[in-house]
């Protein structure tokens, strides 16, 4: 809680938390899902759980792109990168994510040319710099990242750069929300909508959740006050039995999204008929692939992809945690076999993964308390 007061308007934070207590019906148990992994991280970091009344439960959603990627895709990407004279370029977040045959970093140690890039534009820059090499960019992310990959591919096409291809793992958030709502073991009362995905797609794509499912959605910023205000807005709707989409993060999220970004995505990508998500299984029309006019830059067409299917280690319950059915600490491996130092599942690696967030803020804290109480 110490961090909360360092942000803008501590008075408003007090007001928001008082308002939450006033609005929350003590006879009701509220289950609110924060879809985005960035929100999960912030919620743990700021200890918001300690501010909220105990009948408001925050459920962590699937909004961590590294976490939802099935292990086989990492193995596939690394398998095609074994071709001679090839550079495998990926974001730093990917480097420690385990595939069945090791993480990108371990493959690097075994001789694959693995490079960290911080932008898709820099993966293309590698192609300009090393015209004699083939660059495979391991693209990953929700709609926040997909437009950047799209613009990069448009540049590659415009400049006629052909030693560059994209192994595309971009996914879309709305079908995942639909899959969670369709899941029989899940009861939710409302959603804290993603912040930066919504800067691209706007707020309209969530309207069916309110209209058809009767659940309110509030797109939210990442500061403690943003998250508390979003919970106030959700509770206000629930109090009067309303369900609509509201935008708490107006300072960054335009209702209609970012037209240029949507245009770039539409130019380059089309929906795959289906795609596998860790924990959620196959979801139809939930991921992007390159359109035919970009086939020359599509690594899945240029290389022979083994299409590896790997089941997660049996004892690991990543899927249940991703769906919000289990809390991280309820997984059998949490804090025992699976730690940030020795991750079994991606949720323990990525900073947006709920297991890593829970481990770093809640679990370590409880260990310190336990140790000091023993002492």
Partner 1 sequence: MCLAIPGKIVELIAGPNLVGVVEVTGVRRKVQLGLLEDDMPKIGDWVLIHVGFAMSKISERDAAEQMRLLTALGEVEQVMEEVRGYGLEDSTDRAGPVSLNGKHHA
Angle between helix axes 146-159 and 259-268 (nearest 10 degrees) is 60
Among candidates 58, 53, 17, which has minimal Cα distance to 34?
A: 58
User: Which residues inside 281-340 make contact with partner 1, applying CB under 8 A?
Assistant: none
Q: Binder to partner 1 among 19, 125, 213, 276 (CB under 8 A)?
A: 125
Helix (H, G, I), strand (E, B) or coil at 310: coil
What single string gives the DSSP state of each residue in 243-277? --EEES-TTT--TT--HHHHHHHHHHEEE-SEEEE
β-strand 86-90 against 134-141: which pairing, if any?
parallel
Q: Binder to partner 1 among 26, 50, 84, 118 (CB under 8 A)?
A: 118
User: Which residues inside 154-183 make contact with partner 1, applying CB under 8 A?
Assistant: 155, 158
Nearer to partner 1, 95 or 100 (CB): 95
Nearer to partner 1, 196 or 215 (CB): 196
62 binds partner 1 (CB under 8 A): no
CB of 199: closest distance to partner 1 in angstroms? 5
Number of residues engaging partner 1 in binding (CB under 8 A): 54
Nearer to partner 1, 156 or 243 (CB): 156
Q: Binder to partner 1 among 70, 99, 120, 328 (CB under 8 A)?
A: 120
Q: Kindly give the residue spans of alpha helices, DSSP state H, lying in 101-195.
A: 104-109, 120-129, 146-159, 173-182
- For residue 284, count other CB atoms closer than 10 A to its CB: 13
121 binds partner 1 (CB under 8 A): yes
Q: What is the dihedral of CA 142, 146, 148, 151, to 10 degrees?
A: -170
- The residues with which 276 forms a beta bridge, in sequence order, are 282
User: Which residues inside 29-48 make contact with partner 1, applying CB under 8 A?
Assistant: 36-38, 41-42, 45-46
Q: Binder to partner 1 among 49, 82, 96, 115 (CB under 8 A)?
A: 115
132 binds partner 1 (CB under 8 A): no
7 binds partner 1 (CB under 8 A): yes
Q: Which stretch binds partner 1 (CB under 8 A): 125-133, 171-179, 209-217, 341-349?
A: 125-133
74 binds partner 1 (CB under 8 A): no
Q: Binder to partner 1 among 83, 100, 126, 310 (CB under 8 A)?
A: 126
364 binds partner 1 (CB under 8 A): no
- In sequence order, the 6+-apart residues with CB closer than 8 A to the CB of 124 are 135, 137, 152, 155, 156, 161, 164
User: Which residues inside 192-221 make contact with partner 1, applying CB under 8 A?
Assistant: 195-196, 199-200
Q: Is 110 left (phi over 0), alpha (psi -120 to 50) or beta?
A: alpha
Q: Binder to partner 1 among 3, 22, 53, 239 (CB under 8 A)?
A: 3
148 binds partner 1 (CB under 8 A): yes
Beta carbons of 348 and 316 less than 8 angstroms apart = no
User: Which residues inside 254-273 make contact with partner 1, applying CB under 8 A?
Assistant: 258-261, 264
β-strand 269-271 against 274-277: which pairing, if any?
unpaired
Tell me how far CA of residue 279 lies from CA of 70, 77, 194, 249, 319, in angstroms: 9, 20, 20, 29, 3
- The residues with which 212 forms a beta bridge, in sequence order, are none
For the chain, the distance separating the N- and C-terminal CA atoms, rounded to the nearest angstrom, is: 24
List contacts with partner 1 (CB under 8 A). Answer: 3, 6-8, 36-38, 41-42, 45-46, 63-66, 91-93, 114-122, 125-126, 129, 141, 144-145, 147-148, 151, 155, 158, 195-196, 199-200, 222-223, 251-252, 258-261, 264, 350-352
């Amino acid at each position: 809680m110490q961090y909360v007061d360092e942000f803008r308007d501590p008075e408003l934070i007090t007001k928001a938390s008082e308002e939450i207590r006033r609005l929350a019906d003590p006879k009701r148990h509220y289950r609110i899902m924060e879809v985005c992994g960035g929100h999960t991280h912030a919620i743990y970091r700021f200890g918001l759980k300690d501010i909220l009344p105990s009948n408001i439960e925050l459920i962590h959603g699937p909004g961590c792109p590294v976490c939802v990627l099935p292990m086989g895709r990492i193995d596939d990407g690394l398998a095609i990168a074994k071709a001679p004279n090839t550079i495998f370029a990926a974001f730093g977040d990917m480097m420690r994510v385990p595939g069945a045959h090791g993480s990108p970093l371990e493959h690097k140690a075994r001789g694959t040319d693995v490079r960290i890039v911080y932008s898709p534009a820099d993966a293309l820059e590698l192609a300009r710099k090393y015209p004699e090499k083939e660059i495979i960019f391991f693209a990953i992310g929700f709609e926040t990242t997909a437009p950047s990959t799209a613009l990069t591919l448009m540049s590659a096409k415009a400049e006629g750069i052909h030693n560059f291809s994209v192994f595309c793992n971009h996914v879309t958030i709305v079908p995942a929300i639909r899959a969670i709502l369709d899941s029989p073991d899940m009861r939710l009362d409302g959603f804290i909508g993603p912040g930066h995905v919504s800067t691209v797609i706007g707020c309209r794509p969530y309207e069916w959740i309110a209209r058809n499912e009767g659940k309110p959605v509030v797109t939210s910023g990442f500061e403690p006050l943003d998250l508390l205000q979003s919970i106030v807005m959700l509770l206000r709707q629930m109090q009067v039995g309303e369900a609509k989409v509201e935008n708490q993060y107006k300072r960054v999220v335009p209702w209609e999204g970012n037209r240029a970004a949507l245009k770039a995505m539409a130019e380059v990508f089309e929906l795959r008929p289906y795609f596998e998500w860790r924990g959620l299984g196959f979801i139809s029309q939930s991921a992007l692939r390159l359109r035919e006019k970009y086939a020359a830059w599509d690594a899945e067409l240029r290389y022979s992809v083994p299409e590896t299917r790997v089941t997660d280690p049996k004892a690991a319950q990543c899927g249940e945690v991703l769906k919000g059915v289990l809390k991280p600490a309820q997984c059998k491996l949490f804090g025992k076999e699976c730690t940030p130092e020795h991750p079994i599942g991606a949720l323990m690696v990525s900073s947006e993964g709920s297991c890593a967030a829970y481990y770093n803020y809640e679990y370590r804290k409880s260990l310190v308390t336990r140790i000091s109480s023993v002492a």
